[in-house]
Amino acid sequence: MNTPEDETQLTGYARITAYLRTLDSSPGVYRMLDSESRVLYVGKARNLRARVSNYARPNNHSGRIARMISETSSMMFLTTRTETEALLLEQNLIKQLKPRYNVLLRDDKSFPNILVTKTHDYPQIKKHRGGKTEKGSYYGPFASAGAVNRTLNQLQRVFLLRNCSNSDFETRTRPCLQYQIKRCSGPCVGLISTDDYAATVRDAELFLQGKTKGIQETLAAQMSAASDEMEFERAAALRDRIKALTQVQSAQGINPQATAEADVIGLHIDGGQACVQVFFIRANQNWGNHDYYPRISGEEDASEVMEAFVGQFYSDREPPRAVIMSHGLDNDDLMAAALAEKAGRKVEVMVPQRGEKAELVQGALRNARESLARKMSETATQGRLLKGLAAAFDLPKPPQRIEVYDNSHIQGAFAVGAMIVAGPEGFDKNQYRKFNIKGDDITPGDDFGMMKEVMTRRFQRLLKEDPDRTSGMWPDLLLIDGGAGQVSSVREIMDALGVGDVPMVGVAKGEDRDAGKEVFYRTGKPIFALRHNDPVLYFIQRMRDEVHRFAIGTHRAKRSKAIGATPLDDVPGVGATRKRALLAHFGSAKAVARANLADLKAVVGVSENMAQTIYDYFHENG
């Protein structure tokens, strides 16, 4: 960072002007920081000196940029070899730092794919999310888990491929329910040969590649032949497969003929808010759509919002061969070069004016417009609920961040705490947190003790990370699932930590524990209830139900993981494959622990050295 010592007290235009003599015409990325060294803005430049000089002139700036300049106390610069590198670096920094004055893509989840495995004689077809580390063929992305599940469901009806895990496959002695309902060909018990199964796998992959015409013709010919040979049961099964194939094609909606692989991006801006709708076109098929609501100030033009969205959207995703947009960028060629560099192949960036691609864009725009209208309506309703909540609980203003807490356990076992967050835009699932209860001094089933631990850990972390309460991560209201005892125990902890000023309300189910008869507890104030049909009461019930759902799900996941664990998990060198072989040979982990050395050596895949390691582990640690 360039910081001339005699100019460190300057701010705004004067501070930016002071940097000009230290800059040259290199391409690069710049950061503008406030007096607390928080990043206000990240930008790129083909010519750093020329770009920064624009900020040094106090004319022709929008209100947003003028405010940003006035808050600037320092700047940081990083030169790059090319403007393309600067663009890639800029978008990575924006996602990492989340500057206040940048357009910011807030929803950044990964998209699921369909995986056809390649490590088994009878390949498995399944949903996959995350890194592509498992060997096999990946098809996607799909817009949602629902889109993948619908497609998998239809594919199983058409191609009868298995979706069971390898361990389930190896231990089957008779066909499972999937076979009974005609969703699997029963390879686990030898009801189909490897060659015939491989043929159906090839057909499934051809379908996922968009080559469906030949599949339908083959199935129709097989059905006709079966009928001629009076194999009516087989003919009926083939007829059902053809029908399922037709259904999955029609269920995909728009299936463009001239667009094989593209993301179609439509942007609509209204009332200071933006919605971006992305349609995923792969193998000439529509694999679903997803909407985004990037954070904007309302002063940006469409090209600025679109460029920020495209850059951030593909910063950690592989771009398709074509990106079809409703609005052009200031420099389409630069974005195309950056995406091509990331993908290692040509990526076309376009704004079509006519034809099929233009129709696709119009569809995306229509969806963006309708989604934003729904979002704005929901936001207005949410705003009224937050105002009602403030009035009900005597808060100074409508809360922007509500944290709701609950615990889940079975007689103290597998205990977890859960926190959900709600605010002006509804539930913020990126902010949900789970707490594995660690306290050794907590009596099993002690809900008060568990809640104390959760609150202690939560607020100790907040005090450490944001003692000045400037990050927006501090709650304006705490809702605790419980009555007077819970509120009292939590208040004791909060007072001890010095955060007793955070408003807190206990929600108890009241008479007969019926929904609608909830009563509310606050420290030093009388118990009260809301009228039965009050929308604010329904809002509180939804939040309580959501934290309960999240707590139960977290508890079940922890319990399932613990139940599935065995002592073999801790034996050095015993991975998933050896674990399956040992359990298949001996029947249980306890039998493995009791086995002698000779029996261990007899297990397929267990060497003499590994058998000795396993034997020593159980006998030295037993």
Q: Taking a C-beta distance cutoff of 8 angstroms, is the pair 103, 93 a contact?
A: no
Which of the residue ranges 24-33, 351-360, 412-421, 531-540 would you say has the lowest mean pLDDT? Answer: 412-421
Buried b (16+ CB within 10 A) or exposed e, 362-385: ebbbebbbebbeebeeeeeebeeb
The answer to whether 287 and 140 are in contact (CB under 8 A) is: yes
Q: If you ran DSSP here, which 8-state letter would residue 295 be given?
A: B
Give the type of residue at 76: M
Between strands 322-325 and 261-270, the pairing is parallel
Average pLDDT for 106-133: 86
Q: Considering only CA atoms, which of 468, 427, 434 is closest in space to residue 453?
A: 434
Distances (CA, A) of 365 to 277, 335, 348, 368: 7, 21, 20, 5
* φ and ψ of 273, to 5 deg: -125, 155
Kindly report the average pLDDT of the chain as a whole number: 85
Distance CA 259, CA 392 (A): 55
CB 428 within 8 A of CB 475: no
Helices and strands, counts by H and E, the chain: 20, 19
Asked if residue 372 lies in contact with residue 292, where contact means CB atoms within 8 angstroms, the answer is no
Task: Give the range among 76-80, 445-449, 484-488, 551-555 with minimum mean pLDDT.
Answer: 445-449
Task: Over range 564-570, report the average pLDDT.
Answer: 67
Higher pLDDT, 422 or 570: 422
pLDDT tier at 559 (50, 70, 90 boundaries)?
low
Beta bridge partners of 324: 264, 350
Lowest mean pLDDT, pick from 116-130, 231-245, 289-303, 447-461: 231-245
The residues, any chain, with a CB within 8 Å of residue 608's CB and separated by 6 or more, are 601
Nearest to 404 by CA among 545, 569, 237: 545
* Amino acid code (one letter) for 524: G
The residue ranking higher by pLDDT, 469 or 579, is 469
Q: What is the pairing mode between strands 28-33 and 39-45? A: antiparallel
**Torsion angles phi and psi, residue 281, rounded to 5:** -110, 120
> Quick one: pLDDT at residue 1?
44
Strand partners, 114: 127, 139
Range list of H helices, 252-354: 302-313, 332-343
pLDDT of res. 2: 46
What percent of the chain shows pLDDT beyond 70?
A: 90
CATH no., domain 402-562: 3.30.420.340
CA dist list (Å): 17 to 4, 29, 32, 52, 196 = 12, 17, 13, 8, 73
Amino acid identity at 406: D
CATH topology of domain 261-374: Nucleotidyltransferase; domain 5 (3.30.420)
First-to-last alpha carbon distance for the chain, in angstroms, is 59
State how far the Cα of 219 lies from the Cα of 268, in Å rounded to an integer: 44
Identify residue 87 by its one-letter amino acid code: L
Whole-number pLDDT of residue 196 = 87
- As a whole number of angstroms, the distance between CA 19 and CA 607 comes to 67
pLDDT band at 5 (very low <50, low <70, confident <90, very high): very low
**What confidence tens digit (pLDDT) does each residue in 205-228 have?**
888 887 766 777 777 888 888 888
Is the pLDDT at 28 greater than 70? The verdict is: yes
pLDDT of residue 143: 83
The 3 state secondary structure assigned to 348-367 is EEECCCCHHHHHHHHHHHHH
Q: Could you tell me if 422 and 407 are in contact, meaning their C-beta atoms sit under 8 angstroms apart? A: no
Which residues lie below 8 Å from residue 161, measured CB to CB, with a gap of 6+?
116, 123, 124, 125, 155, 184, 185, 197, 200, 201, 204
Phi, psi of 69 (to 5 degrees): -65, -40
Max CA separation in the chain (angstroms): 96
List of residues 6+ apart from 493 with CB closer than 8 A = 452, 455, 456, 459
Mean per-residue pLDDT for 148-177? 85
**CATH 3.40.1440.10 applies to domain 5-97:** yes
Q: What pLDDT does 443 receive?
A: 60
pTM reported for the whole predicted model: 0.71
Instruction: Give the other-Cβ count within 10 Å of 254's Cβ.
Output: 15
51 beta partners: none
The lowest-confidence range among 173-187, 411-425, 488-502 is: 411-425
Q: Give every CB contact of residue 413 below 8 A, 6+ residues apart in sequence.
A: 444, 559
The per-residue pLDDT for range 282-302, each reduced to its tens digit, is 888 888 889 999 999 888 999
One-letter amino acid identity for 246? T
- Is 621 a residue whose pLDDT tops 60? no
Q: Do domains 261-374 and 402-562 have the same CATH topology?
A: yes
- Residue 26 reports pLDDT greater than 50: yes
Selecting from 1.10.150.20, 1.10.287.3510, 1.10.10.10, 1.20.1250.20, what CATH number does the domain 567-621 have?
1.10.150.20
Retrieve residue 203's tokens. 């057909």
Q: Residue 514 pLDDT more than 80?
A: no
Q: Give me the residue spans of the domains in the chain.
A: 5-97, 113-251, 261-374, 402-562, 567-621
Q: What is the pLDDT of residue 293?
A: 92
